[in-house]
Amino acid sequence: MIATSAAVALLVLATGACLILVIPTLAGLLPRRSRAANAPAHTFAILIPAHNEEASLPATLRSLGKLTYPPARVRVWVVADNCTDSTPSVAWAFGAACVARFDRTRRGKGHAVAFGLDRVLRDAADVVLVLDADCELNPTALQALDAVFAAGADAAQCAVRSRNADAGPTGYVAAVGAALDDSVAAGRDRLGGSVPLRGTGMAFRRSVLEFIPWTAFGLAEDAEYAAKLHAAGVRVRHCADAVVGCDSPGNWRDLGKQRRRWRAAGVLASKPLGLALIAAAATLGFACGFAWWPASLLVLTVAVYAHAIASVGVTARRLGLLARSPLVVARLAWVASAGRLKRTPKSWDRTPRLSESERRAA
């Protein structure tokens, strides 16, 4: 009797975790309304917080040089935050405005963003786009964002896609997770909801930043600011046609370091923990004689992840990485539930990235 009650309780929780993914994923598959191409209506400031990014910043700035939005309506700002390398020189070489910040006590990306916004908002930009220094934008990203803001949005989150899905099981798991996040965000937007901010590719109307100043200085500064927007009734729109490409950590050490920071956003946002809950509920449910309930959960969950896997792309190598991914997912679930990694980083330590040559070889 106790086992049956426990199974029912777990199945109820697992059903909720499953439907949180299934419903928006299905909604996201509905055809989107096409927006007519109009003349550019907004000016953009692209703000790039950078901490010792001399190696990755050139690719980011080259991608911004390929934007098809009118150059006169775009200004790129780099915040060289406590840098000890040539990040400022790289920014200037590409024609970006660069402001340097040195503060050994108030460290972190949130402080760098706040410092940059203080400068950026002195200009006349209509929209500020925050982009990480190791990310690239697709050429038509600003046209897509311009259309979203012209339709009345106050804040928007770009789609985020991994460039290194072939970089081992950890890179593959992160790429599938990013694809699932995009699918869920597209559905939440279609259903009229607000989507989470993802740290990079975050765009805000100037008036929003003036009304709700950036005071998000924690390790999960995106989730912190998103909570402030939610409290003020500001909806964050999903912009599927503005795509940010970035590298996911290619090994467990770097991925674990990243996810320890993400734990600050709360365990409820953890997909691996949700998978662990669904697996445990299904196992106990079958053991207690349930059939259709746990089976339905497994089928729906597999279908949602199969859609994400297909969107990343299927190759012989990726099928091999998929077979090795359960161990990575299990370890990530352990991290999300605190596990053995109890120490949370207190400073902004950049996650090691693949070089361009390593990415091509992956």
Task: Read off the DSSP letter of residue 263.
Answer: G
pLDDT of residue 131: 98
Q: Is the pTM of this model over 0.85?
A: yes
* Residue 67 falls in which region: left (phi positive, over 0), alpha (psi -120 to 50) or beta: beta
Sequence-distant (6+) residues with CB within 8 A of 115 are 79, 81, 99, 101
Task: Read off the DSSP letter of residue 154.
Answer: S
Of the pLDDT bands very low, low, confident and very high (cuts 50, 70, 90), residue 263 is: low
Sequence-distant (6+) residues with CB within 8 A of 312 are 162, 165, 172, 175, 176, 179, 318
**SS3 of 204, please?**
strand
Task: Read off the DSSP letter of residue 211.
Answer: H
- Within 15-60, strands assigned E span 44-50
Strand partners, 77: 47, 97
Sequence-distant (6+) residues with CB within 8 A of 159 are 182, 185, 201, 238, 239, 240, 241, 242, 243, 244
Burial class (CB in 10 A: 0-12, 13-18, 19+), 315: exposed
Residue-wise pLDDT for 285-340, tens only, equals 998 888 899 999 999 999 999 999 999 999 999 999 999 999 888 887 877 676 44
pLDDT of residue 350: 58
Task: Say if CB 169 and CB 250 are below 8 A apart.
Answer: no
Write down the domain spans for the chain. Answer: 44-252
pLDDT of residue 334: 77
Of the pLDDT bands very low, low, confident and very high (cuts 50, 70, 90), residue 35 is: low
In 3D space, the residue among 114, 96, 102 whose CA is nearest the CA of residue 45 turns out to be: 96
Report residue 99 as tokens.
Answer: 């402001």
| pLDDT value at 52 more than 70 | yes
Mean pLDDT of the 229-242 span: 97
Percentage, residues of the chain above pLDDT 70: 86
Strand partners, 247: none
Of the pLDDT bands very low, low, confident and very high (cuts 50, 70, 90), residue 353 is: low
- Integer Cα distance of 58 and 227 in angstroms: 33
**SS3 of 193, please?**
coil
- 253 versus 286: the higher-pLDDT residue is 286
DSSP string, 76-145: EEEEEES--SSHHHHHHHTT-EEEEE--SSS-SHHHHHHHHHHHHTTS--SEEEE--TT-EE-TTHHHHH
Angle between helices 292-312 and 271-287 (to 10 degrees): 150
Superfamily of the domain at 44-252: Spore Coat Polysaccharide Biosynthesis Protein SpsA; Chain A (3.90.550.10)
| pLDDT value at 80 more than 90 | yes
Residue-wise pLDDT for 86-117, tens only, equals 999 999 999 999 999 998 888 889 999 999 99
Of the pLDDT bands very low, low, confident and very high (cuts 50, 70, 90), residue 358 is: very low
Which range among 216-225, 236-245, 292-301, 308-317 shows the weakest confidence by mean pLDDT? 216-225
Percentage, residues of the chain above pLDDT 90: 69
Mean of the per-residue pLDDT values of the chain: 88
Greatest mean pLDDT range, 92-96, 269-273, 276-280: 92-96
Length of the chain: 362
- Integer Cα distance of 199 and 221 in angstroms: 7
Mean pLDDT of the 237-248 span: 95
Task: Say if CB 131 and CB 244 are below 8 A apart.
Answer: yes
Residue-wise pLDDT for 186-196, tens only, equals 999 999 999 99
